[in-house]
Amino acid sequence: MKTRIYLVRHCEAQGNIQRVFNGVTDCDISDNGKRQLEFLAERFKNIKLDVIYSSPLIRTVKTAQACNYYHKLPIITDNKLIEINGGGFEQIKFSDFPKLFPKESYLWNIEPWNFDIENGESMRSVYDRIFGAVTDIVKSNLHKNICIVTHGCAIRNLLCRCKGFPIERLNEVNWCDNTAVSVIDFDDNLQPYVVIENDASHLPEDFSTLSKQSWWKKENRDSLIFD
């Protein structure tokens, strides 16, 4: 029998539209994020859920509440589901990264597996932390349908690990849109299989965050374009 994870990225937050790095920094959601949550709630209306976990930050908890709109389950917050701690990047505009942190900016885009910054968390730590957190949740909820709401960088690392990739292949995993859903099945040996990856088909294009931005496209990552 399988244990199914519905992995959800939080809705659009103020940092996403202002292009400010808010890893562990808390911030509220945007007006567009509120609309995204309406579409997300409808997507989850007829999906059977047994348990819901969330990172403790405002943007993830509000997203978990939308997934839970028709289910009325307790929402369990878990600090191990939080986003990467960006250290000196926190609350800095992405466009200022190359000037303020040239080495770390290069690593973030080109060699993210080697990213590490003073007073922050290394990418290798995120890769191990998020997979450990999710497998612990699976072990506690075998054969259930589990919704987990977390963050973009954490999701990218988890998908990399669940696809069987070493962290050095992280750039082969795309960034996902706000409220995108991935589905991962774990077998009884805790081996994961990615069924659906980064699907945001519930969002009309006008409400998509990434449709209005280009930093995430490979050609721009390679050119160290952050904004």
DSSP-derived 3-state class of residue 43 = helix
**C-alpha distance from residue 90 to each of 23, 39, 84, 130 (Å):** 6, 29, 10, 20
CB 74 within 8 A of CB 61: no
> Tokens representing 77?
């917050």
Buried b (16+ CB within 10 A) or exposed e, 54-93: bbebebbbbbbebbbeebeeebebbeebbbbbbbebbeee
Q: What is the pLDDT of residue 219?
A: 85
- Which tens digit of pLDDT belongs to each residue from 155-193? 999 999 999 999 999 999 999 999 999 999 999 999 999
Residue with more model confidence, 142 or 97: 142
- Domains, the chain, ranges and CATH? 3-222 (3.40.50.1240)
pLDDT mean across residues, the chain:
96
Average pLDDT, integer, range 111-140: 97
Smallest CA-to-CA distance from 55 within 151, 156, 197 is with 151
- Which tens digit of pLDDT belongs to each residue from 147-156? 999 999 999 9
Query: Residue type for 27, please?
Result: C
Q: State phi, psi for 29 to the nearest 5 degrees.
A: -85, 165
pTM of the model: 0.97
Q: What is the pLDDT of residue 222?
A: 79
| Angstrom distance (rounded) from CA 130 to CA 144 | 19
Q: What is the pLDDT of residue 218?
A: 82
| Angstrom distance (rounded) from CA 72 to CA 34 | 19
Neighbours of 139 (CB within 10 A): 11
**C-alpha distance from residue 165 to each of 126, 169, 177, 194, 198 (Å):** 14, 6, 21, 12, 17
Burial of 121 per CB tally in 10 Å (0-12, 13-18, 19+)? buried
